[in-house]
Amino acid sequence: MDLAPCAFGVWNTAAAMHSARRALSPNSDELRRSVDNAWQDLHAVVLAAYRVLRVGPAVSLQTLAFSADVLSTLLHTPEDQLQVGDERILDVEECIRRADLEAAVSLGRNLPFDVKATMAWGALKDATSRLLLLALPRCLTLLRYICEKTQNPTVLDFCYDLSVLLDDLLLLVQGLFQRQKMVGRTSSPIANE
């Protein structure tokens, strides 16, 4: 399956979220905290998911398991309990750094992919699809909340543009996830050899 379009869309979303955290200036302190916490949460999830999609099975089993565990924990943390500098955010950043380093080493030496690593990559790819299916609707909910609370035209324009992007990305991820499930039902490791 070609995940390049999905990875590209995820990267664009993460970049937009990163820029938005500085651009948004809600009047309410409570709203500002809510936006900041949720943005940090979703940005980390989407950025990490992009890196996982990009590096593929070149990363080690240990990093795959570590990143999946961190992302799962992060996703299920309520926005109001997740602060900037939270150790779980730092864990995600460390996971990304390690994945990048390991991918570069593995690809540079042109090492063959271990069968177990490939199987683990397939499982994590499935988990990443599920993760995005959960994270993107949360971001859309946040955007609707911001639009209800602010009268700032710049903020409203940004939220509209980003919501369109996220809607498109969500449809893309849903399509990839559905195709992935269909392929899983009609193929086996023996048939693919």
111-162 per-position pLDDT tens digit: 344 444 454 555 555 555 555 566 666 666 656 665 666 666 655 665 666 6
The mean per-residue pLDDT over the stretch 22-44 comes to 53
Alpha-carbon gap, residue 153 to 157, rounded angstroms:
6
Alpha-carbon gap, residue 158 to 99, rounded angstroms:
32
pLDDT score, position 24: 47
Alpha-carbon gap, residue 66 to 62, rounded angstroms:
6
For 56: left if phi > 0, alpha if psi spans -120 to 50, otherwise beta; the answer is left
AA identity, residue 168: D
For the chain, the structural domain boundaries read 4-188
